[in-house]
Amino acid sequence: LKLAKGLKEKELEWSDFKKCFKKQYLSESYYERNTNEFYELLLGQMIMEDLINKFPELLRFVPYIQEDKVKIQRFLSCLP
């Protein structure tokens, strides 16, 4: 990774590393699948604890949802 970036190890910021890693190892279809899973997420057969854990994991894949109000509305829409 540092060779690809042309940087010394100590010059590589964490945010730069994450960007390079994601670009190299996580495909666009991976992001699409997780984004779709976020929008299809429902309590259904899940227990509440699983939903509470899964929601923020998948929320990472929809960075355009920034406002807490929208996040809360989306979470509530997962409930029956």
Question: Which parts of the chain have pLDDT scores under 70?
Answer: 1-10
* Spatial CA neighbour of 34 closest among 56, 67, 50: 56
Pairwise CA distance, residues 63 & 56, whole Å: 11
pTM of the full structure: 0.70
Helix (H, G, I), strand (E, B) or coil at 50: helix
Alpha helix (H) ranges present in 1-80? Answer: 2-5, 14-25, 28-40, 48-59, 68-77
Q: Quick: pLDDT tens for 46-60.
A: 999 999 999 999 999
Q: What is the largest CA-CA distance in the chain?
A: 52
